[in-house]
Amino acid sequence: MIFDMENETLPREDLQKLQLRRLQDLVARVYENVPFYRKKLDERGVKPEHIQSLSDVSLLPFTEKQDLRNHYPFGLFAVSRENIVRIHSSSGTTGKATVVGYTRRDIHTWAKLCARSLAAAGAHSGDFVHNAYGYGLFTGGLGVHYGAEELGATVIPVSGGGTRRQAMLLRDFGATVLTCTPSYALHLYEAAKEMGIDFKELPLRIGIHGAEPWTESMRTEIENKLGITAIDIYGLSEIMGPGVAIECAKVKKGLHIQEDHFLAEIIDPETGEPRKPGEVGELVFTTLTKEGIPLLRYRTRDLSRLNTAPCRCGRTTARMERVTGRSDDMLIIRGVNVFPSQIESILLETEGLAPHYQLIVTRSGNLDNMEVRVEVDEAAFSDQIKNLQRLESKIEKNIKEFLGVTAKCKLVEPKGIERSEGKAKRIIDMRKEQA
Amino acid sequence: MKVDQLSIFLENRAGRLAEVTRILAESGVNIRALSLADTSDFGILRLIVSDFDKAKENLKAGGFTVGRTTVVAVEVSDKPGGLHAILEMLREAKVNVEYMYAFVNQTGSHAVIIFRFDRTDQAIELLQKNNITIVPGEKLYKM
Distance CA A18, CA A15 (A): 5
How far is the alpha carbon of A312 from chain B, nearest alpha carbon, in Å? Answer: 55
Are residues A285 and A244 in contact, defined by beta-carbon separation less than 8 angstroms? yes
B46-90 pLDDT, tens digit each: 999 999 999 999 999 898 999 999 999 999 888 888 899 999 999
Strand partners, B100: B115
Could you give the ipTM of this predicted complex?
Answer: 0.87
Q: Given a cut of 80, is residue B26 above it in pLDDT?
A: yes
List the end-to-end C-alpha distance of chain B, in Å, as a whole number. 15
Neighbours of B100 (CB within 10 A): 17
How far is the alpha carbon of A356 from chain B, nearest alpha carbon, in Å? Answer: 14
For residue B66, the chain A residues in CB contact (below 8 A) are 378, 381
Q: What is the pLDDT of residue A324?
A: 65
- Domain pair B3-69 / B71-135, same fold: yes
Q: Do A381 and B10 touch (CB under 8 A)?
A: no
Candidates A384, A385, A414; nearest CB to B65: A414
Candidates B7, B16, B42; nearest CB to A383: B7
Are residues A312 and A99 in contact, defined by beta-carbon separation less than 8 angstroms? no
Neighbours of A385 (CB within 10 A): 16
Neighbours of B125 (CB within 10 A): 14
Beta-carbon contacts of A129 under 8 Å, excluding residues fewer than 6 positions away, are: A118, A123, A144, A148, A153, A154, A155, A156, A175, A176, A177, A179
Domains of chain A and CATH, by start: 5-328 (3.40.50.12780), 332-434 (3.30.300.30)
The count of CB pairs under 8 A between chains A and B is 54
Quick one: A52 exposed, middle or buried, by C-beta within 10 A (0-12, 13-18, 19+)? exposed
Q: What is the pLDDT of residue A424?
A: 58
- The answer to whether residue B98 neighbours chain A at the CB level (below 8 Å) is yes
Architecture of B71-135 per CATH? 2-Layer Sandwich (3.30)
Domain ranges of chain B: 3-69, 71-135
Q: What is the pLDDT of residue A66?
A: 87
Helices and strands in chain A: count of H runs, count of E runs: 12, 23
- Average pLDDT for chain B: 91
**β-pair type (A128-131, A99-103):** unpaired
Under-50 pLDDT residues of chain A: 93-95, 420-423, 435
Q: Do B44 and A388 touch (CB under 8 A)?
A: yes
Distance CA A41, CA A33 (A): 13
Q: DSSP of A352-409, one letter per residue? A: T--S-EEEEEEEETTEEEEEEEEE--TTT--SSHHHHHHHHHHHHHHHHHHH---EEE
Are residues A103 and A82 in contact, defined by beta-carbon separation less than 8 angstroms? no
For residue B64, the chain A residues in CB contact (below 8 A) are 413-414
CATH 2.40.50.140 for domain B3-69, yes or no, is no
**β-pair type (B66-77, B3-11):** antiparallel
Instruction: Find the farthest-apart pair of alpha carbons in chain A and give their distance in angstroms, rounded.
Output: 72
Candidates A376, A389, A410; nearest CB to B9: A376
For residue A389, the chain B residues in CB contact (below 8 A) are 39
Q: Do A413 and B41 touch (CB under 8 A)?
A: no
Tally of CA atoms within 13 A in the half-sphere of A397 that contains its CB: 8
For residue A393, the chain B residues in CB contact (below 8 A) are none
A291-316 pLDDT, tens digit each: 999 999 999 988 899 999 999 999 99
